[in-house]
Structure 1
Amino acid sequence: MHRGVGPAFQLSRKMAASGGEPQILVQYLVLRKDLTQPPFSWPAGAVVAQACHAATAALHLHRDHPHTAAYLRELERMRKVVLEAPDETTLKLLAETLQQKNIDHKLWMEQPENIPTCIALRPYPKEEVSQYLKKFRLFK
């Protein structure tokens, strides 16, 4: 195998060779859109930092999961999708749904204010979690 092709890609190729589709792992983030608007009006950098915190925390919390390990072995091939939740209530409802469905995630709380800002899932194959995220649009 040529350089630059790691174990996660090899696993995907094995799956494809055996008739299964390659598993593409994606880390989904759902970020509160209302934080960018009045009355909050957080700067873009502060909002982006919330997504970074949530993503890092989710990866750390689930570092021993095989999907997370495979995702981290392929640093050059990481895929993230950042979606927007309109407000805190919607974000909290999503967190409850994910908890009920045993979907590994981290609800990031900005401190010291204790404000829920972002949900990050651990890396998942898209088809395993898309049903819970389909109502959310890409963050703009």
Structure 2
Amino acid sequence: MESPLVDLTQYVILRDDLQTDGKSWPRGALIAQACHACVSVNSIFKSDPNVCRYTSLENLPHLRTVVLSVESEKKLLDYYNILTTNFVSSHLFTEQPENIVTCLATVPVEKSKVSSLLNKLKTFK
């Protein structure tokens, strides 16, 4: 298999408390939230050069996505602010009509740009 055309990764951060703490969202619903966040951020920032390269037909076989977790809505909002402060475009996805902030997705970025910002987070399980 050929190597990726671009060295970009899209990051998703999901709230882990939505599957614990008595909320018990089904795993499939959480996966759908991550998908919605990715589609949303790529649509909102569709003219961003990284989004254009990442979603190019030639790069589709090489998509990289990392799904991480945080323990609460507050932590999710904290990471959204950290990313924004460090000029990493992202989108908070809110499930409607419940108005529950469930996750965020970044635009595709170089790992080196976000690794120090996200290195304390664990992979979503």
Identify whether the pair has TM-score above 0.5, normalized to the shorter chain: yes
Question: In structure 2, which of residues 48, 57, 78 is the aligned counterpart of residue 93 of structure 1?
Answer: 78
Give runs of aligned pairs for residues 14-29 of structure 1, distance below 5 A.
23-29=6-12
Following TM superposition, where does structure 1 have runs of at least 4 consecutive aligned residues deviating by more than 3 angstroms?
A: none
Give runs of aligned pairs for residues 1-140 of structure 1, distance below 5 A.
9=5, 23-73=6-56, 74-140=59-125
Identical aligned pairs, as a percentage? 37
* Structure with more helix by fraction: 1
Distance of 1:29 and 1:117 partners within structure 2: 11
Instruction: Tell me the CA shift for residue 5 of structure 1.
Output: 6.5
Instruction: Tell me the CA shift for residue 99 of structure 1.
Output: 1.9
When the two structures are aligned, how many residues end up with a matched partner?
123
Structure 1 portions without partners, runs of 5+? 10-22
Structure 2 portions without partners, runs of 5+? none
Which of these two proteins has the greater Rg computed from alpha carbons? 1
Q: TM-score, normalised by structure 2?
A: 0.91
Q: TM-score, normalised by structure 1?
A: 0.82
Instruction: Tell me the CA shift for residue 114 of structure 1.
Output: 1.4
Number of the residue aligned with 1:12: none
1:38-95 deviation digits (Å, cap 9, x = unpaired): 3110001111111010011011111111111111111110000000111111001111
